[in-house]
Amino acid sequence: MVEINLWSGLRRFANDQTVISVNGYTVREILDALVKAHPALLPIIKSGVSVSVNGQIITNMFAAIDASDEVYVIQRIKGG
């Protein structure tokens, strides 16, 4: 299982949980599992989130994720 740390702004969509454990081997799989566990996150994830793995933002949805990785899902900041 992969532990996903939710950025503070996302926690309210996941019953105020800070860390959620899901099954998955890629960024796409863990995001899909996160939405399955907490459907209220779907619109936010669809509008765009950033995924940080071991301190680096990952844009490849097929990037491998290991159970030992430190994973954060961050709501994408918009502005200019």
Q: What is the pLDDT of residue 75?
A: 87
For 28-68, what is each residue's pLDDT tens digit? 999 999 999 999 999 999 999 999 999 999 999 999 999 99
**For residue 80, is it within any domain?**
no
What total number of domains does the chain contain? Answer: 1
**For residue 70, is it within any domain?**
yes
User: Comparing C-alpha atoms, which of 23, 16, 12, 9 is closest to residue 71?
Assistant: 23
Q: What is the pLDDT of residue 79?
A: 60
DSSP state of 39: G
CATH of the domain at 22: 3.10.20.30
Above 90 in pLDDT, residue 76? no
Q: What is the pLDDT of residue 78?
A: 65
Task: Look up the domain containing 35 and give its range.
Answer: 2-75
**For residue 7, is it within any domain?**
yes
50 phi, psi to nearest 5 deg: -105, 140
**For residue 42, is it within any domain?**
yes
Q: What is the pLDDT of residue 30?
A: 98
Q: What is the pLDDT of residue 65?
A: 97
3-state secondary structure (DSSP) of residue 38:
coil
